[in-house]
């Protein structure tokens, strides 16, 4: 059974190299800036970006949401904003939810930060929220992210053919999921 208070009570989860904290107003500037990064937008398939006012409203509204969990990824050493992640589309009846993560700049990739953040939030999702399955979509060209997801226990369940049109080229997306009994903690 889903513990809905675990979605309402926004946790702080701390690892060795990342802390996950509730996404809030203090993250507006960095959240907005991340959406302007062309490579981040390509990896997430985001053709446009939010206006500053839209980013501000989004960050201000996250504390009130009780149907999803939005967390900022922060460096515990210096408090630098590294990205954000979400557990969303929660289906209490099926004990399932969607997962997404976006590091805020390419300079943060390849350092294990996304893997550590994913493992922290999956532990929380399975142990505290009570989910059985988390799913995600990732573009097939994002091999680094696919490797991270596999290392955390995600499996490819399907392919969405030519689902992204980016700069005149079509790209497939992979549907991946991890089950509670398939999760590989650090």
- Residue 183's pLDDT is 84
**Residue 56: φ, ψ to 5°:** -65, -45
Is 28 contained in some domain? yes
pLDDT single digits (tens) 82-99: 999 999 999 999 999 999
Helix axes 113-124, 143-151, angle to 10 degrees: 40
The model's confidence at residue 109, banded by pLDDT at 50, 70 and 90, is: confident
Is 55 contained in some domain? yes
Is 71 contained in some domain? yes
% of the chain beyond a pLDDT of 70 = 99
Is 153 contained in some domain? no
> Is the torsion defined by CA of 116, 117, 121, 124 positive or negative?
positive
Which CA distances in Å does 182 have to 31, 63, 77, 185?
32, 30, 31, 10
Is 166 contained in some domain? no
- The answer to whether the CB of 130 falls within 8 A of the CB of 168 is no
Which one, of 126, 105, 90, lies nearest residue 34 by Cα?
Answer: 105
Q: Give the number of domains in the chain.
A: 1
Q: How many CB atoms lie within 10 A of CB 77?
A: 10
pLDDT single digits (tens) 129-151: 999 999 999 999 999 999 999 99
Helix (H) or strand (E) holding 98, with range, is strand 96-103
The residue that leads in pLDDT, 33 or 1, is: 33
Is 149 contained in some domain? no
CATH code assigned at 79: 3.40.630.30
Residues forming beta bridges with residue 70, ordered by sequence position: 86
Full-model pTM: 0.94
User: How many helices (H) and strands (E) would you count in the chain?
Assistant: 6, 8
Domain that holds residue 67: 5-131
Radius of gyration, CA atoms only, the chain: 16
């Amino acid at each position: 059974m889903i513990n809905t208070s675990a979605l309402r009570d926004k946790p702080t989860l701390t690892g060795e190299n990342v802390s996950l904290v509730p996404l809030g107003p203090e993250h507006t500037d960095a959240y907005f800036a991340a959406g302007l990064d062309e490579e981040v937008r390509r990896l997430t398939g985001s053709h446009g970006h939010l206006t500053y006012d839209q980013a501000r409203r989004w960050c201000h509204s996250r504390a009130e949401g009780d149907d999803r969990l939005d967390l900022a990824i922060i460096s515990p050493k210096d408090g630098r904003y590294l990205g954000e992640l979400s557990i969303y589309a929660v289906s209490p009846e099926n004990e399932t939810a969607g997962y997404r993560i976006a590091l805020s700049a390419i300079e943060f990739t390849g350092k294990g930060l996304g893997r550590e953040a994913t493992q922290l939030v999956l532990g929380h999702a399975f142990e505290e929220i009570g989910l059985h399955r988390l799913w995600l979509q990732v573009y097939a060209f994002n091999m680094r992210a696919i490797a991270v997801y596999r290392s955390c226990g995600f499996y490819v369940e399907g392919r969405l053919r030519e689902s992204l049109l980016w700069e005149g080229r079509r790209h497939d997306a992979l549907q991946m999921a991890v089950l509670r009994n398939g999760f590989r903690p650090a």
